[in-house]
Structure 1
Amino acid sequence: MPVSASQTANADSPATSASQSLRDRRIASRRPLVPPELLREELPIDSSAAATVVRGRTDAAQIVSGVDDRLLAVVGPCSVHDEDAAFEYATRLAPLAAELADEVCVVMRVYFEKPRTTLGWKGLINDPGLDGSYRVNEGLRTARSLLLDIVSLGLPVGCEFLDPITPQFIDDVVSWGSIGARTAHSQVHRQLSSGLSMPIGIKNAPDGNVQAAVDAVRASAASHVFTGVGDDGLAAIFTTSGNPDCHVVLRGSSAGPNYDAATVADTARRLTEAGHPRGVLIDASHGNSGKDHRKQPVVVGDLAARVAAGERAIAGVMLESFLVEGRQDLVFGQRQALTRGQSITDACVDWASTEKLLRQLAEAVRARKASTTP
């Protein structure tokens, strides 16, 4: 086919050469990303799993809005690094969740993205080999496959959304989502939350600023227009209708915990004044436990006592939990040396403690129901 004069001119133009010399000055490499639609076709969700996802979303939304008088419990590893150990955890959690379902809606925490203050392993999607190889397409497949396996047990899952493109690959399997403390102020994540199909818990800022989370709830409930990646992997412009099911998660700060009754009541008041009355979730880890996993049971015990006494603003609890207590350091490329079922990020309580704490929360809900039954 002949090349037109305009094409020749464009190819040889000084403007084109200048643009090429100005772009990607600090990009070391670039690889194709699997389109979201192709990954979903490769790893589809069946009708039974879809029903679990919808049930989890409905339950979570009704609990935080006060329609459902149960508690929401989001429990699981700080971040998943071993999919086999995570699935074993799920097989233990699923029957317990079914047993306690009348009092507690249990959602398994299955986090694949790890925000870092400075540097470190960024999560299973980013680096599934735990060796700095960054096989992102493999990480996306591993993450989606694990979520489907867990949901097939009848257990809803929850994920933190950090990268704004990642939800396109997994959000149809997720019943509850989280926006972390570091991104509570982020316009990008507020826009993202406004278009997600599940309830989203938004944490107070790292410095303890609760109003940042309240403002994020309000912003996420509104319609937004923004750019992103569509199902086909191409850039697209999205218009959202707003997410009415966003809510605040109190996670404490470097200054100390913020799960006390006064702060919970003040947060609920702020949400009501903002036009979004909601219950509040309490993260038993992070600042609320002083980053000491052994204090998570203390936090849960205090919350359970208050729930049993009739406190209504507490809608649920988050718990960092895995098969083995504590945490271990990751040495890149030495995955085989890790203790199975122990966190490589934040320290967790073990399975025995997890079961005990969930039963304690269920008993608290039973007590609250009994005290309000005519």
Structure 2
Amino acid sequence: MKRDLPNDDELLSSQLVHIEPMPSPDEVREKLPLSDRALTTVLSGRHTLSNILDGHDQRLAVIVGPCSIHDPVAGLDYAKRLKALADELAGQLYLVMRVYFEKPRTSIGWKGLINDPYMDGSCKIAEGMERARRFLLDVNELGLPVANEALDPLSPPYLSELVSWTAIGARTTESQTHREMSSGLAMPVGFKNGTDGNIDTAVNAIIAAGRPQSFLGIDQSGRTAILRTPGNRYAHLVLRGGGGRPNYDSVSVALAEQALRKAGEEARIVVDCAHANSWKKQELQAAVLTDVIHQRQRGNRSINGVMIESFIEPGNQSIPADLSQLRYGCSVTDSCVGWADTESMLRKAYAALAE
């Protein structure tokens, strides 16, 4: 059947079904202001992590928490447990809670709390942004610093003042937009190696993010603006495996050190115990952590931190049509280590490092 060609008006408008105003960063921040307690936690977190990356603080940074936050109640339950453990292990480990609200999708799927807070495809992004900021405030007010992945370049003006460490994911490390954005973030930023295992893109990203940049973005009023940055001196490498093999072993770490130094960058590395380094099997994260601890015991100081995907219950679950059937404290994205194993892993790491 022959179809009529679209007219000029249809060509101009057919790709947008609806345009909905979004509150500006200033409006969201005014509604959910930064408290004195949260500010103290953020500044302390950034200062401590910078000192760890510089080698002034010899503790191992541990970025640990759920693959993604889908239930703020369960997330805060986890945060309270982690805060108690952080205080207990503070002599050797510096614990930072992984708080991820945005999930990159290879094709389709739930894109995280900000994009779809009700997990039903309604995509009430304004509400999701407020829920995300409220959660960051709650965790920081416990005295527990947080780590986040910067995925949408428009999100940092709403949230970044509450974040102590930021990751740029394997799919976005090559993005010029994310490199420019990272150059203006006020906290350490870790760039993951590519999904193929290649670290060159991450090394190039570290170089770019460390230099001043000028680019288009939004200001706190939500207006399009030209942003000029000083460069981020704490951009560093995150090894997450890829291309069918892990890269946390001592040989891979040594090669990463060489690549960074050849590029004129400091050898500062965080090892992701999940993703391709554990073949996305949560039970193997403990083995990766054990290997990293052994490298530290043998004198390696370029490994400044590790990442662990952990939640209250082990494993993961699909999102059911009836959300009341969701299991409490269980990931809806990648599989996580359960709380009991998290405590065991970190206490063993503490004891080994304290020897």
**TM-score bin (small chain):** over 0.9
Match of 1:63 in 2: 52
| Match among 326, 334, 337 for residue 322 of structure 2 | 334
Identical-residue share of aligned pairs (%): 45
One-letter amino acid of the counterpart of residue 38, structure 2 = A
Does the residue aligned with 1:31 lie in a helix, a strand or coil? coil
Match of 2:229 in 1: 240
Q: Does 1:97 align with 2:120?
A: no
| Match among 74, 77, 80 for residue 88 of structure 1 | 77
| Shift of residue 75, structure 1, vs aligned partner | 0.2
Match of 2:98 in 1: 109
Match of 2:35 in 1: 46
Structure 1, 310-319 or 181-190: larger mean CA deviation? 310-319
| Shift of residue 310, structure 1, vs aligned partner | 1.9
8 Å CA contact 1:128–1:139 kept in 2: the answer is yes
The 2-side partners of 1:105 and 1:269 are apart by: 26
Alignment of 1:191-210 (within 5 A): 191-210=180-199
The 2-side partners of 1:23 and 1:218 are apart by: 40
Specify every segment of 5 or more residues in structure 2 that has no aligned partner in the other structure, as ranges: 1-6
| Shift of residue 168, structure 1, vs aligned partner | 0.8
| Match among 123, 143, 148 for residue 137 of structure 2 | 148
Q: State the 4+ residue runs in structure 1 displaced beyond 4 angstroms.
A: none
Match of 1:181 in 2: 170
TM-score, normalised with respect to structure 2? 0.96
Alignment of 1:235-314 (within 5 A): 235-314=224-303
| Shift of residue 22, structure 1, vs aligned partner | 4.8
| Shift of residue 363, structure 1, vs aligned partner | 2.4
Note the alpha carbon deviations across 1:265-298, whole angstroms, 9 max, x for none: 2212222222221321100001000111111111
Match of 2:352 in 1: 364
The 2-side partners of 1:68 and 1:212 are apart by: 28
The 2-side partners of 1:276 and 1:32 are apart by: 42
Match of 1:354 in 2: 342
| Shift of residue 239, structure 1, vs aligned partner | 0.5
Does the residue aligned with 1:365 lie in a helix, a strand or coil? helix
8 Å CA contact 1:79–1:112 kept in 2: the answer is yes
Aligned length: 349
The 2-side partners of 1:45 and 1:275 are apart by: 37
Does the residue aligned with 2:171 lie in a helix, a strand or coil? helix
One-letter amino acid of the counterpart of residue 90, structure 1 = A
| Match among 332, 336, 350 for residue 344 of structure 1 | 332
The 2-side partners of 1:65 and 1:178 are apart by: 18
| Shift of residue 21, structure 1, vs aligned partner | 5.7
| Shift of residue 356, structure 1, vs aligned partner | 1.3
The 2-side partners of 1:365 and 1:115 are apart by: 35
The 2-side partners of 1:162 and 1:289 are apart by: 23
Specify every segment of 5 or more residues in structure 1 that has no aligned partner in the other structure, as ranges: 1-16, 368-374
TM-score, normalised with respect to structure 1? 0.91
